[in-house]
Amino acid sequence: MIGGALRQTGRLFALAVEVGRAIFRRPFQFREFVEQFWFVAGVTILPAALVSIPFGAVIALQVGSLTRQLGAQSFTGGASVLAVVQQASPLIVALLIAGAGGSAICADLGSRKIREELDAMEVMGVSPVQRLVVPRVLATMGVAVLLNGLVSVVGTLGGYFFNVIMQDGTPAAYLSSFSSLAQPADLYISELKALVFGFIAGIVAAYRGLNPRGGPKGVGDAVNQSVVITFLLLFFVNMVMTVLYLRIVPPKGG
């Protein structure tokens, strides 16, 4: 049982290393990359924007309510923006990419595997990792980074709107607390997280897709597992990265 889990983990890492190496191997599959990028972006942009507005609002309302009780109302803006940019945005992006893009990638690769298409490709001397997996992983990473920007902006606007309109916050205090609490490093870590999460979502989806157990039912199970595994990994990696960030980068307000 434990041996099996360790073996799976090992293979997952092996695939990650293989993908990392194959990224630099010519020829680069540009066409496939653009197609996959377009596809992943297409299925995630709208849901991401729609999720990020209420999410930004919830954080703004919660933080606003807390800060009012503490008498630190003028810091609502900075606090809620940090929460959105550093935590909410990369996670929203990663969940959507894993849920919408990753599941499709996993199902696609899985059905190709059971139809022996991938074997056929290998026999023709074409590596499925280089031809199919690399463009997909790069697409999920790229979309994650760009989408993270979008979600941060939309989430922040949502928070601003709800704080100023609903909670009678002052626009000037909301904005000025940005610069007193937030710093560019917060944005960098947010984008770095999105990049790593995109990589994880792509690799896990590809790994489960390349190794379905049994026939069509196995592909269904693989899709299911790929989403669950990605979610578990995301929250764990997010915790590690957050801890490291808070240790390494000194807070501005302190």
Q: Please give the helix or strand (H or E) that residue 93 lies within, else none.
A: helix 89-96
C-beta closer to other proteins: residue 6 or 126: 126
Under the binding rule (CB under 8 A), the answer on residue 112 touching other proteins is yes
Q: Which two tokens stand for residue 93?
A: 């992006």
Q: By CB under 8 A, which span of 122-130, 158-166, 167-175, 186-194 interacts with other proteins?
A: 122-130
Cα-to-chain-centroid distance, residue 8: 22
Contact status: 123 vs other proteins (CB under 8 A): yes
122 contributes a contact to other proteins by CB under 8 A:
yes
Give the number of other CB atoms < 10 A from CB of residue 117: 14
33 touches 229 (CB < 8 A): no
**Count of residues near other proteins by CB under 8 A:** 14
CA-closest candidate to residue 91, choices 55, 65, 127, 115 = 55
User: CA 127, 130, 136 angle in degrees (round to 5)?
Assistant: 130
What is the closest distance, in whole angstroms, from the C-beta atom of residue 138 to other proteins in the complex?
Answer: 19
Q: Tell me which stretch binds other proteins (CB under 8 A): 38-46, 116-124, 213-221, 225-233.
A: 116-124
Of 14 and 244, which CB lies nearer to other proteins in the complex structure?
A: 14
| Sequence-ordered strand ranges (E) for 69-188 | none
- Amino acid identity, position 141: M
Is residue 152 a contact partner of residue 89, using CB atoms and an 8 Å limit? yes
Asked whether position 166 contacts other proteins by CB under 8 A, the answer is no
| Phi, psi for 251 (deg, rounded to 5) | -65, 145
Q: What is the smallest separation between the CB atom of 140 and other proteins, expressed in angstroms?
A: 20
**Is 120 a residue that touches other proteins (CB under 8 A)?**
yes
Taking the C-alpha atoms of 45, 191, 105 and 134 in order, what is their torsion angle to the nearest 10 degrees?
Answer: 130
Interaction between residue 126 and other proteins (CB under 8 A): yes
Decide: is 113 part of the binding site for other proteins (CB under 8 A).
no
- Kindly state the smallest distance separating residue 1's Cβ from other proteins, in Å: 16
Binding other proteins by CB under 8 A: which of 47, 87, 117, 150?
117
Positions in the binding site for other proteins (CB under 8 A): 111-112, 115-117, 119-120, 122-127, 131
